[in-house]
Amino acid sequence: MSATRRIRFTLNGQAAAAEIGTHETLVEVLRDRFALFGARESCSQGLCGCCTVLVDGHAVSGCLFLAAAADGVKIQTIEGLASGERLDPVQEAFLECGAFQCGFCTPGFILMTRQLLDENPAPSEDEIRHYLSGNLCRCGAYPEIIEAVKLASHKVKSRTPGGAAP
């Protein structure tokens, strides 16, 4: 496990580089080299969604995604979602709906919701349940998460130019 290589990528909009072991996963590199703790290893099998990050706009399980494969990509983590003090509408919606308890799975749910709304700005409840079925919340905040996704959908629409509200 001594082989290393250098990777360059864009991390939350900034150019970044790291010397990584070829066995290391993206979530380890984000944690150990960049002190980004929002993506969290939990099940280590890509089944719980706690380690979700966006790679070139697609949600991946950071615990299974080898860091070596991140060379040349754009990575977005939960830490990069807000613009300064202004939260992303999905974050706002989760906050307003109280869509979390312990908060450990929350970044994964928010990033997955972000991707859902990018693909489908007005998902039905059934579509929400289906799309987020790969994220687990042991506290069982699912009813509030569903509510938050619906609220976020309204917020996104109203923030989009030509949307209903200013």
| Residue numbers at the binding site for another protein (CB under 8 A) | 1, 21, 23, 31-32, 36-40, 42-45, 47-48, 50, 77-79, 81-82, 87, 91, 94-96, 98, 100-107, 110, 128-130, 132-146
Closer residue to another protein (CB): 85 or 162 = 85
Question: Which is nearer to another protein, 73 or 114 (by Cβ)?
Answer: 114
Contact 34, 77 (CB under 8 A): no
CB of 10 vs another protein, minimal distance in Å: 18
**Do 18 and 85 form a contact (C-beta atoms < 8 A)?**
no
Residue with Cβ nearer another protein (70 or 128): 128
Query: Closer to another protein at the Cβ: 72 or 98?
Result: 98
Least distance to another protein from the beta carbon of 38, Å?
2
CB closer to another protein out of 66 and 136: 136
Q: Which helix (H) or strand (E) holds 55?
A: strand 52-55
Q: How far is CA 124 from the centre of its chain?
A: 21
Q: How far is the CB of 165 from another protein (least distance, A)?
A: 22
- Min dist CB 29 to another protein, Å, is 13
Calculate helix-pair angle for 89-97, 142-159, nearest 10 degrees. 140
Per DSSP, the three-state class of 149 is helix
Minimum CB separation of residue 109 from another protein in Å reads: 10
Q: Number of C-alpha atoms within 13 angstroms, CB side, residue 56?
A: 6
Phi-psi region of 10 (alpha: psi -120 to 50; beta: other; left: phi over 0): beta
